[in-house]
Each structure stands twice: as structure tokens, then as C-alpha cells.
Amino acid sequence: MDKNFARYAKYRRKINKFKDLVWFVTKQFRKAILIVTGIGGVQAMEGSLGFRIFRNGFWYDFGCVGHKVITTAFATFIVDQLQAESSIFGDFKYHQIGTGSTAESAANTVLVTPVEAVTTGSQTETSAKVYKTIASISITGTRALVEHGLFNNATPASGTLMDRTVFAAVNLVSGDTFEATYQLTVSDNT
């Protein structure tokens, strides 16, 4: 076991857990304001990314590292699919990672600095309103990963980026495995 990496993973997991709690409380507060003011509930989609690293025979869980940025391209894609469905709607399972630290933006269409091969993730649902995809990406060199994207095509530039998440840098080495868990929650009017 790499004790320094284990300490770092534990530290990042605590930070990520706190950030996740702040995100949840803020979301609940916004929802309460809308209900109290009579505006009502809000229907929305929310993405979240968690990951863990396999190194030297041990898994290191970093927890949830980010919420949000569903891209404008994905929102447009959904509207287009409602008008003329194509088979690519169910293909949002291609994970890509990168080292580009440019801030997340709904205008993103690709990762800033992709590394490693695009990996096909599994597809399941954790509940009737939560889509989940998990991919294990083999690391082939020394990397300071900070970004993850989910696409509907194994060639990202030819597909649509659903979500790009930027997180605190994680230094990885050849032989590590980065396991990404992406979830998309589609809420009803509550």
C-alpha cells in the first residue's frame, strides 16, 4: 500500500464529501425558496462524477468529485432527439479523461487536453430517475488528471459531450486504473 497516496485519497475524499454536502444543502435551500415564494419545484438534470484509483493492489476511493456541468450541446441534443430520435441517444457511455484545467463550461464540446484511450462504460440505473455509467481506464504514463468527459461516440470530436467535470489534480502513474462513476439524475417537479 502506498501510504502517502492513501493519505492523499482520504484527504481528498473528506474535502469532496464536504463539497458534496454544501452542494446538497444549497440545492435544498434553492428548492425551499422556490416553494415558499410559490414558484414551485424545478425540473432539472444534474450530473455527478465520482472516482476511485487502483494502485499496487488497493482501491483508493475519492468519492464524489463534482456536480453539474451538463453541456449546452447535450441539452440541444435532447430537444433534437425528441423531434427525431436516433439510436445514438442511448450511447452516452464513452468516458475520456484529461489533464486540461480550464474551468468547466456549459459551452464545452470536448476535453481540453485528453489523455489515454476512450473507454466504454457499463450502463445501468440506480433508480428510475438516475442513469449510471462506470468505466475503468488504464493509465499508461505519468498523469496529473483533472478532467473527465462523457460522450455518445468513441471518437469524442464526432459525438456529443454530455458533461465535463474538472476536479483537483490526481497524480497517477503507469499501471494505475482510474475508475469513473458518472450519474445523471433527472428530477421531476418536486
Pairs from 83-90 (Cβ < 8 Å, separation ≥ 24): 88/152, 88/153, 88/159, 88/160, 89/152, 90/123
Query: Comparing C-alpha atoms, which of 120, 13, 14, 104 is closest to residue 67?
Result: 104
Which residues of the chain register pLDDT less than 50? none
Residues contacting 25, CB < 8 A, separation 6+:
none
Q: What pLDDT does 39 receive?
A: 61
Q: What pLDDT does 51 receive?
A: 96
Amino acid at 63: G
Amino acid at 68: K
Question: For the chain, what are the domain ranges?
Answer: 3-186
Please tell me the distance from the alpha carbon of residue 19 to that of residue 23, in angstroms, as a whole number. 6
Q: What pLDDT does 29 receive?
A: 65
Q: What pLDDT does 188 receive?
A: 72
pLDDT in tens, 157-174: 999 999 999 999 999 999
Q: Is 86 helix (H, G, I), strand (E, B) or coil?
A: coil
Please tell me the distance from the alpha carbon of residue 139 to that of residue 67, in angstroms, as a whole number. 24
45-55 sheet: strands from edge to edge:
58-67, 45-55, 177-186, 130-138, 122-127
Please tell me the distance from the alpha carbon of residue 140 to that of residue 130, in angstroms, as a whole number. 32
Q: What pLDDT does 59 receive?
A: 96
166 C-beta neighbours (distance < 10 Å), count: 22
Q: What pLDDT does 180 receive?
A: 98
